[in-house]
Amino acid sequence: MPEASEAKVKLATVNASPASARDLLRIVIVGHVDHGKSTLVGRMFHDTGSLPDGKYESIKAMCERRGVPFEWAFLMDALQAERDQGITIDTSQIWFKTDARDYTIIDAPGHKEFLKNMITGAAQSDAALLIIDAAEGVREQSRRHGYLLHLLGIRQVAVAVNKMDLIGYEKEQFDLIEQEYRDYLTSIGVTPTFVIPVSAREGDNIVKESTAMAWYKGPTVVKALDSFLPKATAVDRPLRFPVQDVYKFDQRRIIAGRIEEGSLAVGDELVFSPSNKTARVQSIEAWSTIPGKEQPTEAFAGESIGITLDEQIFVERGELASHVEHAPIETDVFRARIFWLGHEPMVKGKSYRIKLGTMEAPVTVQSIESIIDTSDLSNTSSHQVERNQVAEIVLRSRRMLALDEFEKAPKSGRFVLIDKYDIAGGGIISMEGYANQRDLITSRSTNITRVAHGVTTEARAFKNGHKGGVLWFTGLSGAGKSTVAVALEKKLFEKGYNVFVLDGDNVRHGLNANLSFSPEDRAENIRRVGEVAALFARAGMIAITSFISPYRSDRDRARQASDGGDFHEIFVKADVATCEARDPKGLYKKARSGEIKDFTGISAPYEEPDSAELTIDTSALSVDESVETLVNYVEMKFKV
Amino acid sequence: MDRLDQLESQSIFIFREAFNRIENIAMLWSLGKDSNVMIWLARKAFFGHVPFPVMHVDTEKKFPEMYDFRDRYAAEWNLNFIRELCPPIEEIDDTLPPAARSAARKTAGLKKAIEKYKFNALFAGIRRDEEATRAKERVFSPRGATGQWDFRDQPPEFWDQFKTDFPPGTHIRVHPLLHWTEVDIWLYTLRERIPTIPLYFAKDGKRYRSLGDKDITNPVPSTATTIEEIIEELLTTKISERSGRAMDHEAEDAFERLRADGYL
């Protein structure tokens, strides 16, 4: 049992200072409905003498008018509906100060129905105080709120176990609750600074130390708040400067926005993602009437600024500026952990609008990996995410997006989803299993010009008796791609076709020997094969490629490499169980034992084609039947 | 960045979001300390320009000092200034308590002006710490077609992602000062040397803490004759800012009813 002793209590040393320099910390109070959040706030205000004159009397009068006992909740529950129903509907804020600093106290509703309002309140805070009723113990919303605080990026949390008076100020009961809740928080990666036994009604350990609980040696609630550290500004991190707008009020063309992380200086070279244009900062613009104040030459995280560039490049709202060497990820597919607030459930395959920083784009829910039960952290599968649920999903966009992983750069690693007119959910990004595609779409060659061929595509096709093209096989390991590809190659050759198989293992022996199995290298592997296959096709041949090629983005890029030529995506289809039963190379066994990591279908995703030209179901067709189907297809599509 | 820098940066961010996302937006100028700070912040956000109309919805019952101030700075700050008159008291809901009824004239004037100019949104300089229902506001706060505030079902608002998509007919209030407190306003006014109406300073032991219509606004006891002294006073006072505004105190829900109907 972790016991907070005086010696361990480290309080932030903030000096009482003039008002202009006083720190402001925003604290959200969360917890299950009726566990005493509002009472605790009322008690804190009363005992620190922060209530405005006449407020206590006016609350008393409101209670008497309704014939209810004195209710602190009326301090913040300002709406008639809230007072009449005795329930907090929407989040509210109230201000108080200690010797150390100023506080904004954010009250968040504990009722499940008002989760969107709880998130609205909590997301604004620097730290959180979680309230648990000692008589009721840890309840559904106690866990859910803890989980969501973590997801919202709030790392400083203290816990108050309230209503200790109802359980006779017993240490044993408190210890059990503390242990249970600490275990839960630890499992989601949160370490509470203090767990404090309190009675908000009686005023124990809120402002004054409790005489009834002499066994508790830790700080009071107010001291625990004072121990929270102010949120550090992210000036030492790579620059993230989302373009908010471009102004041309006068002769200056000002790129306006707020620096979310890092800093920039006049003369810095910036890259704007995802357009990948670069230019240097010519000036940092600021308006001031204070005479003699010079224009700044540097700007830092948190500042809303404007810059001009040395070149007139076309940049618009939604682009993310960074330094060249620490640019954000570019991708059209990523993983996210989301909370859903929509009136309609989130559905697989449906499109929403994503807002990430100042960028907006349509995205489609490619898959719903799991629904997370925030009570016991268990996972279940579902084809939709209901209101107030938390889920792991994969999102796909039609165009490249510039973003970051939440753990590395929170401000550019989180987003909201819009359904019709409403913010329907929020999420944080992970790229686990997915590649940063920035390098794949970056061309480093300059000063190059295409040379025109002396032989036309038509002339080649006429001479060969067939067109050139690509048959792009995709499917799980063991689905039969290579077997079918090789048999098809033989059959087509016999029929007089110029045909060649590009096979995964073969290519990795030569052309791609320098590539590993990281997501980025896998993507590069496929990019090169796509380019080579396209060259074969242009040379008049039929290239059959036999690669798992699990990602849609990679296959789409291979199709683009063919540049309008004959490209046929062939889905060689068999489910994981069938493939695992075949296991011709013994790879599934190794993947199951953990010997191979990130194995497609087992521990890495396979994104099925949604518009393949042809699907060959090898669990239903024999090799000969498969080849016959394909030969007929080729004769139909390629013969001149 | 100190506290005022942070507040300022957040307000600038809000201004720029609204200006980019919403067509046909205007700013409400009540001539008080808050809306003067608001204009100042707009000039910061847009590099010395205020790129939208600034509108005074005039009850014609303000103090003469306020009108002088308005006429001088509308010109000096190069504002695209609009003045709109409120309808007479006889046209206002007579079930409201007298002071609230008087204040409701402003709501009615506002609705008329919105209709006339087809504004989709208005910047308003309200703050959360002024009053308990304002503490529950959103930065981007949608109103129904007739201006009413549905406080029972407000949109979620987090990570500085505001609701910026609306079905046709929705009107939006944007609140760039929502996160400021009264003392912040004075600290910023002092730092930025923003012009101030003299009524805020004590005369014969009294000053106005909040300025509204002459007949429903009362001065509070004070000896503060400079901004520094006002700040000093605010750090120790336990009297609420709107204690001199009669309409807040007539009934428990008087202000909520006003706001639900479209009052600021």
Record: contact A19-B235, CB cut-off 8 A: yes
* Res A463 pLDDT > 60: yes
Catalytic residues of A: 549
Q: Of A306, A325, A344, which residue constitutes the final position of a domain? A: A325
Q: Which tops the pLDDT comparison, A423 or A445?
A: A423
Which of residues 580 through 639 in chain A touch B, CB cutoff 8 A? Answer: none
Indicate whether A339 and A313 sit together in one domain: no
Query: All domains of chain B, ordered by start, with CATH?
Result: 3-180+250-260 (3.40.50.620)
Q: What is the pLDDT of residue A19?
A: 54
| Total domains, chain A | 4
Of the pLDDT bands very low, low, confident and very high (cuts 50, 70, 90), residue A545 is: very high
Establish if A283 touches chain B: CB-CB under 8 angstroms. no
Indicate whether A104 and A196 sit together in one domain: yes
* Res B236 pLDDT > 90: no
**Calpha distance A116→A337 (Å, rounded):** 16
**Calpha distance A227→A233 (Å, rounded):** 18
Which amino acid is present at A520? Answer: E
**Calpha distance B54→B73 (Å, rounded):** 12
pLDDT above 70 as % of chain A: 96
Q: What is the pLDDT of residue A20?
A: 59
Model confidence pLDDT, tens digit, residues A172-219: 999 999 999 999 999 998 999 999 999 998 999 999 999 999 999 999
Beta carbons within 10 angstroms of residue B202's beta carbon: 19
Indicate whether A619 and A572 sit together in one domain: yes
Q: What is the pLDDT of residue B216?
A: 80
Among A566, A577, A574, smallest CA distance to A615 is for: A574
Indicate whether A508 and A627 sit together in one domain: yes
Which of residues 50 through 79 in chain B touch A, CB cutoff 8 A? Answer: 51
SS3 B149: strand
- Give the phi and the psi of residue A81 in degrees, each rounded to 5: -60, -35
Indicate whether A17 and A131 sit together in one domain: yes
Contact between A47 and A203 (Cβ < 8 Å): yes
- The residue of A60, A76, A90 whose CB has the most chain B CBs within 10 angstroms, and thus the best one to mutate to test that interface, is A90
* A391: in domain: yes
SS3 A270: strand
Q: Of A199, A227, A255, which residue constitutes the final position of a domain? A: A227
Q: What is the pLDDT of residue A15?
A: 38
Average of per-residue pLDDT across A389-410: 95
Indicate whether A171 and A257 sit together in one domain: no
Of A80-94, A611-625, B177-191, least confident by mean pLDDT is A80-94
Record: contact B181-A95, CB cut-off 8 A: yes
ipTM > 0.95, yes or no = no
Helix B182-192 / helix B33-45 crossing angle, nearest 10 deg: 60
- Residue numbers in A near B187 (CB within 8 A): 19-20
Which amino acid is present at A495? Answer: K
Among B115, B65, B68, smallest CA distance to B87 is for: B115
- How do strand B140-143 and strand B81-85 relate by DSSP bridges? unpaired
* Res B118 pLDDT > 50: yes
Contact between A273 and A330 (Cβ < 8 Å): yes
Percent helix, strand, coil in chain B (nearest 5)?
45, 15, 45
* A283: in domain: yes
**Calpha distance A497→B131 (Å, rounded):** 82
Indicate whether A568 and A463 sit together in one domain: yes
Model confidence pLDDT, tens digit, residues A565-583: 899 999 999 999 999 999 8
Peptide bond before A274: cis, by omega within 30 degrees of 0? yes
* Res A281 pLDDT > 80: yes
Record: contact B136-A91, CB cut-off 8 A: yes
* Res A2 pLDDT > 70: no
- Residue numbers in B near A105 (CB within 8 A): none
Indicate whether A21 and A156 sit together in one domain: yes
Question: What is the domain-level CATH number for residue A418?
Answer: 2.40.30.10
Of the pLDDT bands very low, low, confident and very high (cuts 50, 70, 90), residue A13 is: very low
DSSP-derived letter for residue A114 is G
* A401: in domain: yes
Question: What distance in Å separates residue A408's CA from the closest CA in chain B?
Answer: 17
| Distances in whole angstroms, Cα of residue A481 to Cα of each of A406, A557, A558, B218, B241 | 37, 20, 17, 85, 76
* A438: in domain: no
Record: contact B252-A120, CB cut-off 8 A: no
**Calpha distance A216→A340 (Å, rounded):** 40
Question: What distance in Å separates residue A298's CA from the closest CA in chain B?
Answer: 13
Establish if A79 touches chain B: CB-CB under 8 angstroms. yes
- How do strand A254-258 and strand B140-143 relate by DSSP bridges? unpaired
Cβ contacts of A15 within 8 Å, gap of 6 or more: none
Of A539-548, B18-27, B140-149, B150-159, least confident by mean pLDDT is B140-149
Mean predicted lDDT score pLDDT of chain A: 89
Contact between A438 and A327 (Cβ < 8 Å): yes
Model confidence pLDDT, tens digit, residues A59-113: 888 888 888 888 887 887 777 777 777 777 888 888 888 888 889 999 888 888 8
Indicate whether A490 and A376 sit together in one domain: no
Indicate whether A46 and A155 sit together in one domain: yes
Indicate whether A466 and A564 sit together in one domain: yes
Of the pLDDT bands very low, low, confident and very high (cuts 50, 70, 90), residue A17 is: very low
* Res A466 pLDDT > 90: yes
Average of per-residue pLDDT across B249-258: 73
CA atoms in the 13 A half-sphere facing the CB of A35: 30
* A179: in domain: yes
Among B214, B172, B179, B206, smallest CA distance to B58 is for: B214
Q: What per-residue string of b and e applies to A225-256 under the rule 16 or more CB within 10 Å gives b? A: bbbbeeeebbeebbbbbbbbbbbeeeeeebbb
- How do strand A542-546 and strand A499-503 relate by DSSP bridges? parallel
Percent helix, strand, coil in chain A (nearest 5)?
30, 30, 45
Average of per-residue pLDDT across A432-447: 81
Model confidence pLDDT, tens digit, residues B53-93: 999 999 888 999 999 999 999 999 999 999 999 998 888 88
* Res B170 pLDDT > 90: no
Of the pLDDT bands very low, low, confident and very high (cuts 50, 70, 90), residue A53 is: confident
Q: Of A192, A227, A262, which residue constitutes the final position of a domain? A: A227
Average of per-residue pLDDT across B237-255: 73
Model confidence pLDDT, tens digit, residues A206-238: 999 999 999 999 999 999 999 998 877 788 899
* A104: in domain: yes
- Which candidate from B17, B132, B158 shows the least CB-CB separation from A426? B158
Indicate whether A214 and A258 sit together in one domain: no
- Residue numbers in A near B231 (CB within 8 A): 19
Question: What is the domain-level CATH number for residue A36?
Answer: 3.40.50.300
Chain A nearest-CA residue for B235 = A19
Residue A585 is part of which domain span? 456-638
Contact between B104 and B93 (Cβ < 8 Å): yes
Q: What is the pLDDT of residue B75?
A: 95
* A530: in domain: yes
**Calpha distance A226→A158 (Å, rounded):** 11
